[in-house]
Structure 1
Amino acid sequence: MKGGDITAPKGAPYPGTAESPELRSALIRKIYVVLCLQFLLTAVVAAVVVKVPAIPHFFLSTHAGLGLYMFILIFPFIDKTTLSTIVHALTTVAFLSLTAYTFWAASRGHDFSFLGPFLFASLIVLLVFGFIQILFPLGKLSHMIYGALAALIFSGYIVHDTDNIIKCYTYDEYVWAAVSLYIDIINLFMALLNLFSAADS
């Protein structure tokens, strides 16, 4: 796709987009603002749970499923160990680097849509691997392999979903786009935490 997409509007910064550059830039800004608000809300919920111990007790004792879900969402912000700090930093650096690379590559006409089927198949393999681990625990090495594979897969999803944000999502789909990226980042964090926890144990 060298030389860009001839069907793209004149002056479009990202070949392959169908709208005007101004509309696409506004959409991208809107998506990342929503993403920042999601993480801000997550941090606020975590802070409230940390300061009011009765809240997690309430969820865990009355609605076990909801409590577990809330715990998974806020765990990265509750854990104050050095390991958690390192994983936070690595996740941030990985996300920013992958995002910057995807925007740079997209502006030169590269397309990452081909990653979709490979990432989906890899995710299915990862789920099966995780299920096997539950039934037949394979030890520390298998946890490290699982964490490393998951980190690679969700890094790929960050690139793929960022490429979709640049080229595919319509202006009305900004919430879904932000949620997709949010889930990718959380999963990348959990994968790295799993990897380093297994290595540290």
Structure 2
Amino acid sequence: MGFIRKVYGILAAQLVLTTVVSAFVVVGSCERAPPWKLWLLALLFLCLVPFVLLWPLHIYHQKHPVNLIILGLFTVFLSLTVGVSCANTDGRIVLEALILTAGCLIILILTGLIQMFFPLGSTSTAFYGGISAFIFCGYVVFDTDNLIKRFTYDDYILASATLYLDILNLFISILRVLRSGDN
């Protein structure tokens, strides 16, 4: 339980940092829009840096405090990418995606807690898995279920990064669906 609390504590900090950094990017982009070529180069750079940071994150995942610093950089650069995506989307749609993502996560957490004490039958599990896979929540359920199976107590950084990426994918997917529905 201590491991799960640590992972979800780090995950909560990552989500708060992502929200703050993305909000600054959105507010900053409203004041002055840069030329599109500069914007495209910055976005390309922002998209590549998290992939580069995955290597040291994997190498130093058990070396405290280096692991937290690398995880923080990883989170900030992904947050900047999310911020750019949100800045190019209508604010109402971003808010809807945020609310739907939070709602899905709350449902997943509650269902996970219920399943810990009252295991679901095979039909309920299949139905739940199908719906959650449809909106990327299946990744969060799978990775949460595998936290203890795949990761040791000292692998909390990798476990947090895995769940963080699942939640970002969920948000971006919902944002994409809502953006296309708005068009």
One of 71, 87, 90 as aligned partner of 2:97: 87
TM-score by length of 1: 0.57
CA contact (8 A) 1:161 1:181 kept: yes
1:73 aligns with 2:82: yes
Write the mapping of 1:54-133 to structure 2, written as runs, cut at 5 A: 60=39, 63=42, 65-68=44-47, 70=77, 71-75=80-84, 78=87, 79=89, 81-108=91-118
1:200 aligns with 2:182: yes
1:32 equivalent in structure 2: 8
CA contact (8 A) 1:28 1:165 kept: yes
Write the mapping of 1:172-187 to structure 2, written as runs, cut at 5 A: 172-187=154-169
Q: Greater share of helix residues, 1 or 2?
A: 2
Secondary structure of the 1:105 match is helix
Per the TM alignment, residue 63 of structure 1 is displaced from its structure 2 partner at its CA by 4.8
Write the mapping of 1:14-29 to structure 2, written as runs, cut at 5 A: 25-29=1-5
More divergent stretch after superposition (35-44 vs 71-80):
71-80
Quick one: percent identity of the two aligned structures?
Answer: 30
CA 1:199–1:31: 2 relative to 1, 3 Å:
same
Per the TM alignment, residue 73 of structure 1 is displaced from its structure 2 partner at its CA by 2.3
Please tell me the root mean square deviation across aligned C-alpha atoms, in Å.
Answer: 3.6
CA 1:56–1:68: 2 relative to 1, 3 Å:
farther
One of 169, 172, 175 as aligned partner of 1:190: 172
1:49 & 1:103 partners in 2: Cα distance? Answer: 35
Per the TM alignment, residue 109 of structure 1 is displaced from its structure 2 partner at its CA by 5.1
2:140 & 2:107 partners in 1: Cα distance? Answer: 10
Secondary structure of the 1:85 match is helix
CA 1:49–1:200: 2 relative to 1, 3 Å:
closer
1:169 & 1:36 partners in 2: Cα distance? Answer: 19
Tell me the amino acid that sits aligned with residue 28 of structure 1. I
Aligned length: 143
Deviations 1:89-123 (A, max 9, x none): 11100011112212321334569xxx9xxx9xxxx
CA 1:196–1:44: 2 relative to 1, 3 Å:
closer
Unmatched 5+ stretches in structure 1: 1-24, 120-148
CA contact (8 A) 2:26 2:86 kept: no
CA 1:100–1:72: 2 relative to 1, 3 Å:
same
CA contact (8 A) 1:87 1:189 kept: yes
Tell me the amino acid that sits aligned with residue 106 of structure 1. M
CA 1:169–1:189: 2 relative to 1, 3 Å:
same
1:158 equivalent in structure 2: 140
